[in-house]
Amino acid sequence: MKIEEIIVVEGKDDTNRIKQAVEADTIETNGSAINEETLQLIAHAQATRGVIIFTDPDYPGGKIRETIVQRIPGVKQAFLRKADAQSPKGGSLGIEHASPEIIREALRNVYTQRQTETSDIDRKFLDEWHLVGHADSARYRELLGDALGIGHTNGKQLLKRLRMFQLGKEDVNAAMMAILQELEEKDSLTALRQEEENR
């Protein structure tokens, strides 16, 4: 699989892992304190070949994304689920820990930032699905981010990201219905197992 765009990653280990999965060129930010020279390089890459931001699913990775998105319009973004980027020994998260298959899947499902952020979603709608303002909101946002392939966010970021990628109520409704059904099935299975153990 060949990627035409230049992929922006955090470091050499990420580049090595991506090159095991696909044929691609990368730009490394070398940490979350992304400098002006690197931003100019990314802007040039976007103007000539296009860019895919593919950073780790953690706070520093999110910070890099935000910095690039604010400066360079129209970039594409690929996301990994935390579970797919976990070190085998635990502790660290990163693209370098993801399997080549997972990386290819993420790069097949990129999102493009739109110039105009339009969506029919508002905070009230997110509140109705318990995605903001509830004790279980962080968990639901994580599950929704995984289901839609848009990464993990806080409440404010979720609204912004849904609008940026022009995802609407239908998209969220379908994903949340599937999530709730899966959670219900897991709860039923857990209850059955407990019943069997108590016999």
- Based on the fold, state whether residues 23 and 102 are members of the same structural domain: yes
Decide the pairing of beta strands 76-77 and 111-112: antiparallel
Which pLDDT tens digit goes with each residue over 102-157? 999 999 999 887 655 567 889 999 999 999 999 999 999 999 998 988 888 888 88
Q: How far is CA 191 from CA 50, 69, 76, 179, 184, in A?
A: 50, 45, 43, 18, 11
- Based on the fold, state whether residues 133 and 178 are members of the same structural domain: yes
What pLDDT does 115 receive? 55
Among 85, 113, 141, residue at a domain's last position = 113
Higher pLDDT among residues 160 and 191, named by residue: 160
- Give the C-alpha separation, 106 to 9, whole Å: 13
What pLDDT does 193 receive? 79
Count the Cβ atoms, other than its own, within 10 Å of residue 108: 12
Residue 175 has pLDDT above 80, yes or no: yes
- Based on the fold, state whether residues 154 and 103 are members of the same structural domain: no
Domain of residue 64, CATH code: 3.40.1360.10
What pLDDT does 195 receive? 75
- Based on the fold, state whether residues 126 and 109 are members of the same structural domain: no
Q: How many structural domains is the chain composed of?
A: 2
Mean pLDDT of 155-173: 88
- Based on the fold, state whether residues 73 and 133 are members of the same structural domain: no
- Based on the fold, state whether residues 140 and 98 are members of the same structural domain: no
Residues whose CB falls within 8 Å of the CB of residue 175, separated by 6 or more in sequence, listed in order: 144, 147, 148
- Based on the fold, state whether residues 122 and 109 are members of the same structural domain: no
Among 113, 148, 163, residue at a domain's last position = 113
Among 89, 113, 137, residue at a domain's last position = 113
- Based on the fold, state whether residues 47 and 130 are members of the same structural domain: no
- Based on the fold, state whether residues 122 and 186 are members of the same structural domain: yes
- Report the run of H or E that residue 54 belongs to, with start and end: none
- Based on the fold, state whether residues 86 and 153 are members of the same structural domain: no
- Based on the fold, state whether residues 122 and 102 are members of the same structural domain: no
* Residue recorded with tokens 């304190």: 33
* Contact criterion met (CB below 8 Å) for 3 and 22: yes
Q: What is the pTM of this model?
A: 0.73
Domain carrying residue 199: 118-199
Which pLDDT tens digit goes with each residue over 59-112? 899 899 989 998 998 899 999 988 888 888 877 888 999 999 999 999 999 988
Q: How far is CA 72 from CA 42, 68, 113, 196, in A?
A: 8, 6, 10, 57
- Give the C-alpha separation, 135 to 72, whole Å: 35
Looking at every residue in the chain, the average pLDDT score rounds to: 89
- Based on the fold, state whether residues 74 and 4 are members of the same structural domain: yes
